[in-house]
Amino acid sequence: MGALQRESVWWGTTAVDFGCPFRWRSGSPPVLVPKPVWWGAILVGLFAALFGGSSTLISEPTGPMTVIMTAVLTTMVSRYPEGGMAMGFTVVMMAGLFQVILGALKLGKYVTLMPYSVISGFMSGIGVILIILQLPPLLGQTTPEGGVLGTLKGLPELIVNTQQSELLLGLLTLGILFSFPQRYRRYMPVQLVALVIVTLLSLWWFDLDAIRRIGVIPTGLPTLVLPQINSEVLTTMVVDALVLGTLGCIDTLLSAVIADSLTREEHDSDKELRGQGLANMVAGLFGALPGAGGTMGTVVNVQVGGRSPLSAIVRALILAAVILVAGFLTEPIPMAVLAGIAIYVGFNILDRTFIQRAHKVSLHQTVIMYGVMILTVLVDLIVAVGVGVFIANIIAIEHLSREQEKQVKAISDADEDDVPLSDMERSLLHSANGKVLFFYLSGPMIFSVSKAIARQHSKIEEFDVMILDLSDVPMIDMTVGLALENAIKDAVEAHCQVFLLCPHQKTRDQLERLHVKNWLTDDHTFDSRYDALRAAHRVTDGML
């Protein structure tokens, strides 16, 4: 059918007018390579590398970002045919500004607080996704609609219609990748070796049009897009920008965490968000798709030896050179060769070491890891991470609660050794004849121990004095503060005097902010256990 020109790029069921040509060879589907994707990869990749906080992160238009951007552009263009495109890319600039603000407020570190079982699960899930999605091009077929599930459903048909020539090229690529001597890998990236060798062999064995290749790449410079805001849809634009910016933050920092786990380095989350925000602002200004840190590209970068932002900068410059002057060099690369390289990358993404030993370490962590992996493959990366972090935190809080409950102790017998009392202090407690309840807490107190506090003071009416010892508590949260207030109120209502021992200024300030100390007078607040026990002894002797 020759070369066709078409003005729409289809993602799923949505057409967005980008003015992008594609080439359609006889007997093969069209190869879509929109300019905004290329320039998005160049601009986002370049500026994120220059101003970001990760040494190995590769930034580009990712799947989630592209899907959201497609919806934004579709909505804007349908409502405002003349200025909708400019408004859509204004949303990209606003999203970038939002990311810069998050980085300036130093909120990036909170995105990366997650257990390794979750990190391992979505790393392995991404590897499985990459392998599954590359099976159709490895077999010489187009990828069915529906992503991973569509590919799995269509796998029998794909196998039946396998193109033997393309499968041969893909298997040859995998053979080189897995068998290339380890001692030579430090001198040259094995992926590049396989790409060059198999591409040259394909030109020798087959005609140019006999197998599917990358094809013609559209050339040209991006177009400047000035910001345009319509007051009628300003709220919609702000919400879209927040969604796009937040997704970009999560996508980027999750990829940065993966890079850290591979390189044993640590990125600067806040600087990375500022860099990503600036990169997306530039992308929006030049009408390019927004981007984020891409897991696949980052893993490939690490595996071929990239250890500084220079690798991402060189990548962006090479892409620019390909678009502007050297597109003919990539045109003959077979799709099956790229599929083989991607499958190899996916195999290396699998966290095989943790998979092999997770079940020996912790059943809970194993379940979380496999659960996140399955959700990543079958549902969505963001959903998988959210569910995994939530369950992991619940389990961690439950384990922490058990340990903290052991630090909530209430004794009236000096013979017990659960509380760190000196001999003199034990003597004072013993002389109270069981009428003083020594209520001892230690360590950070979070909401999970509030029930333990309630249990320990349930029989407060049996005592004349309750000493609330917080001398070993560095901090309390609001729930624990309210539980302590209830304990004090119950004691007061039971005509039991309460003495507070709280030498830490931070803990005292927290109690004051919660108005807990309003139930106590100054002469019922002490700085030492001995003074509090002496006062309690005087109460039991009828001296107070």
Same domain, residue pair 391 and 524: no
* Residue 364 belongs to a domain: yes
Give the pLDDT score at 500: 85
Domain at 458, CATH number: 3.30.750.24
Same domain, residue pair 314 and 166: yes
Same domain, residue pair 390 and 413: no
* Residue 136 belongs to a domain: yes
Same domain, residue pair 502 and 463: yes
Residue 208 tokens, joined: 């140019």
Same domain, residue pair 447 and 362: no
Q: What is the 3-state secondary structure (H, E, C) of 124-145?
A: HHHHHHHHHHCHHHHCCCCCCC
Mean pLDDT of 394-402: 77
Residue in the structure block whose two tokens are 């100390």:
517
In this model, does residue 187 exceed pLDDT 80?
Answer: no
Taking 3-state DSSP, the helix, strand and coil percentages for the chain, each rounded to the nearest 5, stand at 60, 10, 30
Alpha-carbon dihedral of residues 286, 230, 20, 329, nearest 10 degrees?
A: 20
- The pLDDT confidence band at residue 243, using thresholds 50, 70 and 90, is confident
* DSSP code string of 239-280: HHHHHHHHHHHHHHHHHHHHHHHHHT----HHHHHHHHHHHH
* Residue 500 belongs to a domain: yes
Domain boundary (332, 367, 395) is at 395
Q: How far is 87 from 284, CA to CA, in rounded Å? A: 10
* Residue 448 belongs to a domain: yes
Same domain, residue pair 296 and 338: yes
In this model, does residue 380 exceed pLDDT 60?
Answer: yes
Instruction: Supply the pTM of this predicted model.
Output: 0.65
Same domain, residue pair 247 and 389: yes
Same domain, residue pair 448 and 390: no
Domain of 188?
18-347+354-395
Give the count of alpha carbons within 13 A of 329, CB side only.
10
Identify the residue with better confidence: 369 or 261: 369
Give the pLDDT score at 395: 83
Same domain, residue pair 52 and 82: yes
Single out the residue of 106, 48, 13 nearest to residue 248, CA to CA: 48
* Residue 7 belongs to a domain: no
Least confidently predicted of 121-130, 156-165, 178-187, 209-218: 209-218
* Residue 1 belongs to a domain: no
SS3 at position 526: strand
In this model, does residue 158 exceed pLDDT 70?
Answer: yes
* Residue 2 belongs to a domain: no
* Residue 314 belongs to a domain: yes
Mean pLDDT of 60-84: 79
Same domain, residue pair 432 and 378: no
Same domain, residue pair 385 and 413: no
Same domain, residue pair 372 and 469: no
Burial of 67 (0-12, 13-18, 19+ CB in 10 A): middle
Mean pLDDT of 482-511: 81
Domain boundary (328, 362, 395) is at 395
Q: How far is 39 from 211, CA to CA, in rounded Å? A: 28
Mean pLDDT of 391-406: 76
Radius of gyration of the chain (CA): 32
Number of folded domains that form the chain: 2
Least confidently predicted of 228-232, 381-385, 494-498: 381-385
Q: How far is 519 from 213, CA to CA, in rounded Å? A: 79
